[in-house]
Amino acid sequence: MSKKKLLFEVQENETISDCLDRMKDAGYMPVRRMEKPVFKEQKDGGKSEVVPVRQTIVFEGKKIEE
């Protein structure tokens, strides 16, 4: 038995379209898109500061019923 919902993250080496194609090949359709920032801590002397590095895109996929 497969899961009804699954999360698919857009990898660094693929486009959003590639991720959507991967979802379709796995038998899922996108129902929600989430964007999460990725932060990195930079230390400058005695101070440290958190800066955004990139945005991670995650799609929630729902199993396509046949």
Instruction: Tokens 């990898």: give the residue.
Output: 11
Q: Is the pLDDT of residue 2 over 70?
A: no
Q: Is the pLDDT of residue 66 over 80?
A: no
What pLDDT digit, counting tens, does each position of 14-38 carry? 999 999 999 999 999 999 999 999 9
d(CA 63, CA 53) in angstroms, rounded, equals 32
* Per-residue CA distances from 4 to 26, 44, 50, 55 (Å): 12, 47, 37, 26
Helix, strand, coil abundance in the chain, percent, nearest 5: 15, 60, 25
Q: Is the pLDDT of residue 1 over 80?
A: no
Tokens of 65: 């019923």
Q: Is the pLDDT of residue 57 over 60?
A: yes
Phi-psi region of 45 (alpha: psi -120 to 50; beta: other; left: phi over 0): left
Q: Where are the domains of the chain?
A: 5-63
